[in-house]
Amino acid sequence: MINKNLTYAVVWASNDKNKYWYKVFENLLNNGYNVIPINPNEEKILGKKCYKNLSSYNKKIDTVIFVVPPKITEKILEEILIINNSRSKDEIKQIRMQPWSESKKAISFCQKNKINFIANACIMIEKNN
């Protein structure tokens, strides 16, 4: 369940209005959710400072939303494991892999490393239910 009191990082949020990752970020932001854009190629998205990676955001992130190809998801999951092993109470609690961003390798990685995840479920659909 999503909650407006949590902080969501949208991986690969973008200023390209035609991209699905822009639409997810915009939808959550416009509906009052605390969302942080993560993209090494952007400075700001919809007026919010964009962070190059999850590690460069020094505050708590509750949930990471992947809206990227599986290869990028797999790479960033390794960063999440490092973050979670280096922080105690501020660890990332949940991963959400939007449809097409998950892979067997990503799911296996989460299971092996005890990372709570939801795969193949659209956060925008859940938000509206």
pLDDT tens column, 65-88: 999 999 999 999 999 999 998 876
CA distance 62 to 9: 8
Note down the domain range covering 16. 7-128
Residue 100 lies in a domain: yes
In a 3-state reduction of DSSP, which class is residue 74?
helix
The b/e string for 41-52 (b: 16+ C-beta within 10 A; e otherwise) is: ebeebeebebbe
- What's the number of domains the chain is made of? 1
CA distance 51 to 55: 9
Residue 66 lies in a domain: yes
pLDDT tens column, 12-51: 999 999 998 899 999 999 999 999 999 999 999 999 999 9
Residue 103 lies in a domain: yes
Q: Are strands 48-49 and 44-45 parallel, antiparallel or unpaired?
A: antiparallel
CA distance 10 to 101: 12
Residue 2 lies in a domain: no
> pTM for this one?
0.93
For residue 109, what is the domain's CATH number?
Answer: 3.40.50.720
Residue 1 lies in a domain: no
End-to-end CA distance of the chain: 10
Residue 75 lies in a domain: yes
